[in-house]
Structure 1
């Protein structure tokens, strides 16, 4: 944990699932930890690959759990993807969770020239995956967009397959490389830092995903902190390529460490 002792931190990026909450329950100490960060005057953003609900609904659910935040503080990948689709005149075939379909209102979906896949949960049926594959394989210039690349996440105390596993199946079958929007892509982190007006060396990312959160942040020059909550497994501490700047038991301990480093 020494990597943070002399750090001048002005911005904190936080994962949501597995750090703030597990399923529909706030992780003990996390609500108070956010309050401490705000009282210290730090700039906070909630950087998430959440694609089972809209940003508005996610904000409302976190506020209901007691977290002090605003909708604009939450940065999911879907708005960035919608901007890209509009800019490049893309017409998506959607393999997404039904609850985020409103995010794509106003986007032309006729005669698709790309496929978008997110954490579709129960929508990941053989039929739906096969349909997405057929759309891809019949395109002259296929493009596959994936909202994140996580292998799994923690939901109500159990591990659940994430979008990355299903993206990999489509990549393999259609012989195509997906374009990932969200963590761990560098532009996802850098766009948030620009919005925060914080330099990478002044920012800390706290997450439970050793590759997507910690590794992705470190690749952009941020300090990466791993929490032992959510999807964390003890083997993460011996990852062959990603070495966290700090490992803490939970968000509360991580926040205490940050605040101590600023004194």
Structure 2
């Protein structure tokens, strides 16, 4: 059965590194495992549910830990949401972390017709929630895209 495997999809947090502590540390053997998988010729991609940083920032953090990883190899919620936004001609009101906003740079955000919500941290305030509510309240079929559960 192993010969039928052509690629691997690995989660990052808790699989490659432990996110606790000061920014996280690689799990023992994970840097070498990624190197060996890539050297084997298997296609390797990574997935994360990270919603407080761009993929670029996230990848730089992993590279600093010693991982051979590129932005193109990482699947994350924000780029997936951007794909949906483009596909459906949606213009979002963003209720997300400030560090994630650059992921939406190519998306028209004028006159919003939907809301994208993620782990907004300090942006999750009454005023910001009210702005999002005002976007949705007048719609017959409100569109809310969650970058996490829900």
Q: For the superposition of Structure 1 and Structure 2, which TM-score range results when normalised by the shorter chain?
A: 0.7 to 0.9
User: Aligned in 2, Cα 1:127/1:76: closer, same or farther, shift over 3 Å?
Assistant: same
RMSD of equivalent CA atoms: 1.9
> Could you say which residue in structure 1 is the equivalent of 2:8?
12
1: CA distance, partners of 2:122 / 2:18: 19
Shift of 1:134: 3.5
Separation in 2 of the partners of 1:16 and 1:123? 25
Alpha-carbon distance in 2 for matches of 1:54, 1:142? 27
1: distance between equivalents of 2:39 and 2:18? Answer: 25
**Structure 2 residue 93 is matched with structure 1 residue 97:** no
The answer for unaligned runs of 5 or more in structure 2 is: none
Where structure 1 has 5 or more consecutive residues not aligned to the other structure, the ranges are: 1-5, 150-163, 165-263
Q: 1:42-57, aligned counterparts within 5 Å?
A: 42-57=42-57
- The residue number in structure 2 matching 1:60 is 60
Q: Secondary structure at the match of 2:72?
A: helix
Q: If the length of structure 2 is used for normalisation, what is the TM-score?
A: 0.84
Mapped partners of 1:38, 1:45: distance in 2: 10
Distance 2:99 2:71 in 1: 17
Alignment: residue pair count: 145
- Find out whether 1:88 has 2:88 as its counterpart: yes
Distance (whole Å) between structure 1 residues aligned to residue 45 and residue 28 of structure 2: 20
Match of 1:12, SS state, is: strand
TM value normalised by structure 1: 0.50
